[in-house]
Amino acid sequence: MAGHFMETIGTPAKAAARRLARALTAGSGAEGEGLLAAMVALSVLVAPLVFLHSFCDTAISLVAVLFLYRSYRRDDFAWAREPWFIAALAFSAFETLRGIFTTYPHIAVVSGLVWMRFPVFVAAQCALFRTVPRLKRRVFWAYALTVAFAVADALYQRTSGHDIFGWTPAMDGTRLTDPDGKLDVGMILTLIGMPIVVWALAAATDRGRAIWLRLAAVLALLALTAAILFSGERMAFLLFIAAGAVALKVIGRLRWRAIGIIAGAGAIAASLVVAASPPLRLRATEALWQFSHPHRSAYLEVMHGGLRVFAANPVVGIGFRQYRYDCARYQPPGVPHEVCADLHPHQIWIENLAEGGVVGTGLILAVLILMLAPAVRDWRRWRDEPLFGGAAMAVLLRLWPLATTSSFYVSQREIVFWPLMAFAVAMASWRPDEV
């Protein structure tokens, strides 16, 4: 599976893999250059590997390890004095120490320690973007190729009944699989597709661009929107549409009246597509029923279960990655077993409150705010830097508190979120005049 996927991604990913192999086997005389080339190649590979979760996590971890070794050899740990990194250390230390006194301390303690690979990866990208200014372009095109492949695969699934690798969509075809056979293609496309959305909107609304390029940008947006709609992931589609409306204003610089007309036309088109597709019509019917019967919504029941856990442990929570094991003991009699059947309560902030309490949630909030604040303050650059604008918008989208999405700490989501955060932080700290 992994081999077929990498082959399909194309020449850039394979070339990066070859550079990585040469870098990792470089002689001692080329050690500095070898480590740098290895980190660059691994950073580019993160995007094509994002659907292959364990491979992507391995690439992120290797970048972190190589960067730590490079910093040790150069005796340069200035990056560790960044406020967001100090906050990350505090969060990791809290979760690790809290984990000693949990039901399964080996899970909580190890999870708290290895989580630090993500802040180190962020620091590595900040250093690499200053050293290798072309890295941002390479990463953007890696994301673009990955999104193009996943969009084509999703459209093919909806029309043929199976993906190009032979996987049959699960849940009677109401949801599509990603290139690795998992049911998360819609949300992943929503997040990693944001850089392409920013590029396409900037190109489509720039009257100085060639007409064919503006048309290609519009077609790319339509294809991405269709793929996310066809995925059957309702929250992913709603988040994508909400982000699109904001992007039309910030990136496209359109008037609200024009945005309203586009939104109205899009809603009509989406309704016609859903009405013509039995699987999508079933998903829409289920969503309407849940909205009209909120007291019977399975998602709300699960969230209420998470809030009960938090109410019983408001200060320090029940510990990192302990929700599945301890949730049931805090539920009153008669609560369905399904409320505590998952690893998480399907809402990232309720999850943080339940597992980390006010202390843990405050610490992770400090990390995220300190990381993202410079990117938000520099929002006027988003239109001209698609990777920067897209990564920042994707991070904000993932943190949106009203979204019923999966865990913040399950690796399938972490390996999508943290590279985007890393590129947003790195781009906020990078300036063309520094090169």
Does some domain include residue 421?
A: yes
Does some domain include residue 87?
A: no
More reliable by pLDDT, 218 or 14: 218
Confidence (pLDDT) at 295: 65
Confidence (pLDDT) at 281: 78
Does some domain include residue 323?
A: no
Does some domain include residue 355?
A: no
**pLDDT grade, residue 286 (50/70/90)?**
confident
Does some domain include residue 328?
A: no
Lowest mean pLDDT among 9-23, 82-96, 128-142, 378-392: 9-23
Confidence (pLDDT) at 179: 75
Total domains in the fold of the chain: 1
Evaluate if residue 301 carries a pLDDT over 50: yes
Evaluate if residue 357 carries a pLDDT over 90: yes
How confident is the prediction for the chain on average, in pLDDT?
84
Tell me: the pLDDT tens digits for 381-414? 888 888 899 999 999 999 988 776 778 887 778 8
Does some domain include residue 108?
A: no
**pLDDT grade, residue 30 (50/70/90)?**
very low
Evaluate if residue 289 carries a pLDDT over 80: no
Mean local confidence (pLDDT), 314-337: 88
Confidence (pLDDT) at 211: 93
Mean local confidence (pLDDT), 252-268: 82
Tell me the CA distances in angstroms from 17 to 42, 235, 359, 365, 393, one per residue in order.
Answer: 8, 35, 41, 35, 29
**pLDDT grade, residue 349 (50/70/90)?**
very high
Please tell me whether the overall predicted TM-score, pTM, comes out greater than 0.85 for this model.
yes
**pLDDT grade, residue 28 (50/70/90)?**
very low
Does some domain include residue 329?
A: no
Does some domain include residue 252?
A: yes
- Domain of 234 in residue numbering reads as 2-76+116-292+383-434
Tell me: the pLDDT tens digits for 180-204? 777 788 889 999 999 999 999 988 8
Evaluate if residue 172 carries a pLDDT over 60: no
